[in-house]
Amino acid sequence: MPDYKTLTPEEAQVILHKGTEAPYSGQYNEFYEDGMYKCKQCGVPLFDSSSKFNSSCGWPSFDTATENAVKESLDSDGRRTEITCSNCGAHLGHVFRGEGFTEKNTRHCVNSISLDFVPRE
């Protein structure tokens, strides 16, 4: 069995039960240090800080995910695309395309509570 982190009730609400943290409340929303954002539950690298940008949406935004680290699936509402950790299935947030924020035209909108940040050495 994989070595998963024990989650707080708040972390479990988002990561396991597909909740959403309040906008502008997450610790990584206005955070721009150099390093790697990893899955809070299993530790897999998900997003490099070089792909983070300010979309002013209230949640951390990334235009690129680490290769094969993020799975996309249609949300239960049928309108949005949910993103989860490919390794453990942790709910991360949603991905949006065609908004024009970056040249890649992609915004992975991620709950801070789903992430752990590791500074680059």
Residue 97 pLDDT grade (very low, low, confident, very high; cuts 50, 70, 90)? very high
Q: Which of 39, 57, 88, 109 is catalytic?
A: 109
- pLDDT > 90 fraction of the chain, expressed in percent and rounded: 92
> Using one digit for the tens of pLDDT, what is the confidence trace for 68-95?
999 999 988 889 999 999 999 999 999 9
pLDDT band at 108 (very low <50, low <70, confident <90, very high): very high
Model confidence pLDDT, tens digit, residues 12-42 = 999 999 999 999 999 999 999 999 999 999 9
CA 88/CA 72 separation, integer angstroms: 13
Q: Residue 1 has what pLDDT?
A: 45
Q: How far apart are CA 71 and CA 82, in angstroms?
A: 8
Q: Rounded distance, CA 21 to CA 110, Å?
A: 10
In the chain, what are the domains?
9-119 (2.170.150.20)
Question: How many CB atoms within 10 Å of residue 37?
Answer: 26
Q: How far apart are the first and last CA of the chain?
A: 30
Q: Is 42 a catalytic residue?
A: no
Instruction: State how far the Cα of 61 lies from the Cα of 108, in Å rounded to an integer.
Output: 5
For residue 58, what are the contacts with CB-CB under 8 A and spacing of at least 6? Answer: 22, 23, 24, 25, 29
What pLDDT does 2 receive? 60
> How much is the pLDDT for 3?
77
